[in-house]
């Protein structure tokens, strides 16, 4: 079991986000994006195709996120997949993406304040960074599919 550093935020124990330099910068200074952790597809079983079950969390400053948000709109999934923009806050510790646009910074569907809480609900031993875009099943409050290509034409139709 890995040791993690935590910070208390409003009575919540929030795990400090690992730095890119620890795992993703090689000896020559090249950045190698961490592999996606949540790569399950949709269909029968783990990730049912169901309207009003998923939220796409994305950040305006992230190119990967922008593509996911654009794909959601191009496929006409605005009524099927909720969306929320996340951002950084002015905290001393690096706690990752926070739901700064929700009332009191708490996402109403999941009850989480930070995206990391949903990652660790899905895998409490996850050691990578919490990144966006993130596609979350808000019925189970777990991060689900973490792919750059997670939408397809028949999704939610």
Q: Decide: helix, strand or coil at residue 63.
A: helix
How far, in Å, CA of 147 to CA of 35, rounded?
10
Read out DSSP for 110-149? T--SBHHHHHHHH-TT--S---SSEEEETTTTEEEE--S-
Q: Which residues contact 16 (CB under 8 A, 6 or more apart)?
A: 4, 5, 6, 7, 93, 94, 95
Asked if 138 and 110 count as a contact pair (C-beta separation under 8 A), the reply is yes
Pick the catalytic residue from 7, 62, 75, 80.
62
Q: Which helix (H) or strand (E) holds 8?
A: strand 6-9
Retrieve residue 130's tokens.
Answer: 């919490």
- Is residue 62 annotated as part of the catalytic site, yes or no? yes
Known catalytic residues are 62
């Amino acid at each position: 079991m890995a040791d993690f550093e935590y910070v208390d935020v409003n009575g919540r124990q929030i795990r400090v986000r690992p730095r890119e330099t620890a795992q993703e910068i090689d000896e020559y200074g090249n950045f190698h994006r961490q592999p996606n952790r949540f790569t399950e597809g949709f269909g029968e079983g783990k990730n049912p195709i169901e309207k009003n079950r998923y939220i796409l969390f994305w950040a305006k400053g992230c190119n990967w996120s922008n593509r996911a948000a654009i794909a959601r709109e191009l496929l006409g999934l605005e009524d099927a997949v909720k969306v929320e923009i996340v951002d950084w806050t002015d905290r001393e510790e690096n706690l990752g993406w926070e739901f700064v646009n929700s009332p009191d910074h708490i996402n109403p569907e999941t009850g989480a304040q930070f995206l990391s809480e949903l990652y660790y609900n899905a895998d409490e031993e996850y050691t990578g960074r919490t990144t966006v875009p993130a596609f979350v099943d808000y019925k189970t409050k777990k991060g689900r599919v973490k792919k750059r290509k997670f939408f397809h034409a028949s999704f939610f139709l």
